[in-house]
Amino acid sequence: MNNFSIVSSLLDNDFYKFTMQNAVIKLFPLAKAKYEFINRGKHTFPKNFGYLLKENLKKMSLLKLSSEERIYLEKYCPYLDSSYLDFLNKYQYNPKEVNIYQKGKNIQMNIEGLWSRTILWEVPIMAIISELYYKLTGAKRISNKKITILTKEKLKKYERLKVQIGEYGTRRRYSYRVHKLVLKILMEYGYPFFIGSSNLHFSHIFSIKPIGTQGHEWIMFHAAKYGFDEADRIAMENWLNIYGGNLGIALSDTYTSSIFFKNFNKKLSSIFKGVRHDSGDPIFFAKETIQHYKKFQINPIRKKIIFSDNLNPYKVADISSFCKNKIIPIFGIGTNFTNDVGPPNMNIVIKMVQALPEKKWVSVVKLSNVKEKSTGKKNMIFLAKKTLHL
């Protein structure tokens, strides 16, 4: 058990963590952040879990960007400039930034340090927790042959629906090996509607362009620095300052979609290629988005919505049927690809809880379009809602 590394590449992470890291280094190099592990599913952890988790994080401190990985990034991600790649060349995980305590069957964990450094921890730690949990609880999964059949069946459904799909399943995957197997099948049988993976390491292995843009923490930090009202708008403007027209998908639900659309002015709506839906009723959101574009005389059929909220073939069928000839839907499918192998999925998250934009720590919140997905202290959630008149 102790010799096996669950995360064996610096790039085994979601692509948007690197695009955000690059932006943080350039715009907020001195900012600090705190993150917390939230056990939404109230999972109970076996004895020694905390110890084995720490051992895995120690091994991560040995990971370094290889020269082949750098060449891959230069070729497939040209908007990540050489100064950032030089930073990544020197970057190593520091396990001292992560505190883990196990009390009986509960795990508590927080991460703290420079935002430009700590931003990379969340996804690999979640992948490690997931894989360790299934290993230590003796969870039995279906065979590789069955995984192959199941994944091919899903692909046939997506092909019939004539939709574009991507793979977003790193953080709650069953295991590294299952993830790799699923991607192999997607590569072999998903052409041309499979558009890529959000995992940078597998994108490198399979020589494909990674997909993804930014996460909620980007906007949550902006709220800590500039206030809730303007966080969405300033976060998008800052994104454009770094990436121009590249990586042009705007995240719509950090402070609910209604607040997002108020911030998504004509200029931003024109420049960004589309928006990402991550919570709430997807059809209602599609209607809102189409109306929003029409208000600015922008033809929605040229714009995209990336749907990424807990998808499966049935949901994709409903959403794509509604969007047909109205707007371009793209589907980022996570756990339904990388953890649909028998045992129930884990319901865990790691979220930014505080930010230090300048001199003092500020508690951050995410409101989301559904109550269950909101995070942050109750008093701050109350303040955010009051400020935004929600």
**pLDDT tens digit sequence for 155-189:** 999 999 999 999 999 999 999 999 999 999 999 99
What is the total count of domains within the chain?
A: 2
Q: Are residues 149 and 104 in the same domain?
A: no
In a domain, 309, yes or no: yes
Tens of pLDDT, residue by residue over 276-313, are: 999 999 999 999 999 999 999 999 999 999 999 999 99
Read off the CATH number of the domain in which 123 is found: 3.20.140.10
DSSP characters over 109-141? EEEEEEHHHHTTTHHHHHHHHHHHHHHHTT---
The whole-chain average pLDDT of the chain stands at 96
Query: Which 3 state secondary structure label does DSSP give 245?
Result: coil
Would you state the pLDDT for residue 371? Answer: 84
Q: Please say whether the beta carbons of 169 and 186 come within 8 A.
A: no
Q: Are residues 33 and 101 in the same domain?
A: yes
Query: Which 3 state secondary structure label does DSSP give 357?
Result: coil
Residue 9 structure tokens: 């590449």
Tens of pLDDT, residue by residue over 97-154, are: 999 999 999 999 999 999 999 999 999 999 999 999 999 999 999 999 999 999 999 9
Domain of residue 43 covers 15-139+345-387
Model confidence, pTM:
0.97
In a domain, 330, yes or no: yes
In a domain, 5, yes or no: no
In a domain, 8, yes or no: no
In a domain, 6, yes or no: no
Q: Are residues 58 and 168 in the same domain?
A: no
Q: Are residues 256 and 310 in the same domain?
A: yes
pLDDT at residue 264 is higher than 50? yes
In a domain, 39, yes or no: yes
At which residue do the structure tokens 């998504």 appear? Answer: 264
At which residue do the structure tokens 């494909």 appear? Answer: 208
Banded model confidence at residue 1, pLDDT cuts 50, 70, 90: very low
CA distance 216 to 252: 9
Beta-bridge partner residues of 51:
none
CA distance 261 to 271: 14
Q: Which of 343, 337, 350, 296 has the alpha carbon at shortest distance from 157? A: 337
Residue type, 278: D
Tens of pLDDT, residue by residue over 17-52, are: 999 999 999 999 999 999 999 999 999 999 999 999
Residue 79 structure tokens: 């908007």
Q: What would you report as the CA-atom Rg of the chain, rounded to the nearest whole angstrom?
A: 20
Q: Are residues 221 and 260 in the same domain?
A: yes
Q: CA-CA distances (angstroms) from residue 280 to 19, 216, 252, 388?
A: 26, 15, 11, 18
Q: Are residues 275 and 296 in the same domain?
A: yes
Q: Are residues 333 and 201 in the same domain?
A: yes
Q: Is the dihedral of CA 54, 219, 32, 389 positive or negative?
A: negative
Q: Are residues 280 and 372 in the same domain?
A: no
Q: Are residues 227 and 181 in the same domain?
A: yes
Q: Are residues 262 and 188 in the same domain?
A: yes
